[in-house]
């Protein structure tokens, strides 16, 4: 994995794509000859009372954000305005509202302490600032063959992320999904020595950190859930998680970890000069539930002894590993025009 140290965070270096197809020699070896000739194929704030409309702020993707005081609402707008410090626009950070709507929990890298202290000075108790860092996780299930599963390692020239879950397109064909910050449209992906498919569907990034994968053979409704038991689960349902519910995450590096609590449904990340909003925010104190390389992996709830309900897709989190941000499954389906595959 190629990375660069930027503002104290490990950031992915994107492949330099000269054409709409980008692959390494390992991927070329995995591709069928005919394919090579043809090239590419086409965290929720506590709801404020209805008598407090002045404490609500509109967000296009995350919806109305309501807070318990005008001061917290002002802090929200101030953070989004990126003008409280000269370096705010070049800083990578994340935040999510407390469930009572009284404050905003903001995370910076330790190298951006001056930016964080300026935020505290400006907004006082309306913000809680910590320095655990924030990054989009990029880096298995390292050799996933057709029929492809979710939670597998996928890569293109060292840019390694995770597959999310299998989906169905309106025309009946199948594919998978991953995070849009991982790849550009038209890139061929491998999982170990196996061709996984072509990355497409990236649009309106970073607002929507998602894209789909097609053309890598067959895809089925399984996700990797090792190292626990069972080591895989069958996707039998889907649905955005409820606030305070317990969920599991599964990425190619951290693998499956359960017991994370959904502390917000309106988490936000600012990185690379843009916002990703309306994110599931999952927290498990004193634990590592996500790391660089896990982006794209599934967020799910166990169902019975061997089933899984898809809740979302990992896109980032704290570098300390105890917080994960994820796109909601409803957003993935609506933005990409796909449906979660729940049948074999």
The DSSP result for 60-99, as a single string, is TTT--EE-SSHHHHHHHHHHHHT-SSTTGGG--EEEEE-T
In angstroms and rounded to an integer, the radius of gyration of the C-alpha atoms of the chain is: 20
- The whole-number pLDDT of residue 220 equals 96
- Please give the sequence-ordered ranges of beta strands (E in DSSP) within 109-173, or none if there are none: 127-130, 148-150, 153-156, 159-162, 166-168
pLDDT at 54: 63
Residue 212's SS3 state is: strand
Report if pTM > 0.85.
no
And the tokens for 94? 């994340």
Whether residue 276 contacts residue 306, with contact meaning beta carbons closer than 8 Å, is answered with no
Strands (E) in 228-344, as ranges, are: 232-238, 246-251, 255-271, 274-283, 298-303, 307-317, 323-328, 339-340
Residue 344, Cβ density class (10 Å: 0-12 exposed, 13-18 middle, ≥19 buried): exposed
Q: How far apart are CA 125 and CA 142, in angstroms?
A: 45
In this prediction, residue 111 carries a pLDDT of: 87
Which alpha helices (DSSP H) does the chain contain, by range? 25-30, 33-38, 70-81, 113-123, 329-336
Between vectors from CA 203 to CA 279 and to CA 290, what angle results, nearest 5°?
35
Asked whether the beta carbons of 148 and 216 are under 8 A apart, the reply is yes
pLDDT mean for each 10 residues of the chain (344 residues): 30 34 44 35 33 72 90 95 95 94 94 95 97 76 92 91 98 98 96 96 97 97 94 97 98 96 98 93 98 97 96 96 98 98 89
Q: How far is Cα 213 from Cα 69, in angstroms, rounded to an integer?
A: 44
């Amino acid at each position: 994995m190629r990375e660069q140290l930027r503002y104290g965070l490990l950031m992915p270096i994107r492949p330099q794509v000269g054409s709409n197809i980008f692959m390494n020699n390992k991927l070329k070896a995995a591709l069928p000859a005919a394919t090579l000739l043809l090239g590419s194929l086409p965290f929720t704030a506590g709801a404020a009372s209805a008598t407090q409309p002045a404490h609500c702020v509109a967000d296009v993707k995350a919806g109305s954000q309501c807070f318990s005081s005008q001061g917290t609402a002002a802090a929200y707008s101030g953070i989004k305005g990126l003008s409280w410090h000269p370096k705010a626009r070049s800083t990578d950070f994340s935040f999510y509202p407390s469930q009572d709507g009284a404050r905003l929990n903001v995370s910076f890298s330790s190298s951006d302490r001056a930016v964080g202290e300026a935020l505290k000075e400006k907004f006082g108790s309306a913000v809680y600032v910590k320095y655990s860092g924030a990054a989009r996780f990029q880096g298995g299930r390292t050799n996933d063959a057709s029929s492809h599963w979710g939670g597998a390692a996928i890569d293109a020239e060292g840019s390694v992320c995770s597959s999310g879950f299998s989906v169905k397109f309106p025309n009946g064909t199948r594919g998978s999904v991953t995070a849009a910050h991982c790849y550009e449209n038209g890139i061929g992906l491998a999982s170990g020595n196996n061709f996984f498919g072509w990355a497409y569907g990236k649009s309106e990034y970073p607002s929507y950190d998602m894209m789909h994968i097609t053309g890598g053979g067959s895809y089925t409704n399984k996700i990797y859930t090792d190292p626990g038991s069972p080591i895989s689960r069958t996707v039998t349902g889907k649905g955005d998680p409820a606030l305070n519910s317990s969920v599991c995450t599964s990425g190619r590096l951290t693998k499956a970890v359960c017991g994370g609590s959904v502390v917000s449904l309106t988490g936000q990340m600012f990185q690379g000069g843009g916002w990703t909003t309306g994110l599931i925010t999952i927290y498990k104190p004193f634990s590592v539930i996500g790391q660089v390389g896990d982006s794209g992996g599934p967020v799910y709830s166990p169902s019975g002894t061997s089933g899984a309900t898809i809740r979302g897709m990992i896109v980032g989190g704290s570098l300390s590993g105890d917080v994960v941000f994820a796109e909601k499954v409803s957003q993935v389906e609506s933005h990409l025009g796909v449906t979660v595959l729940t049948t074999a």
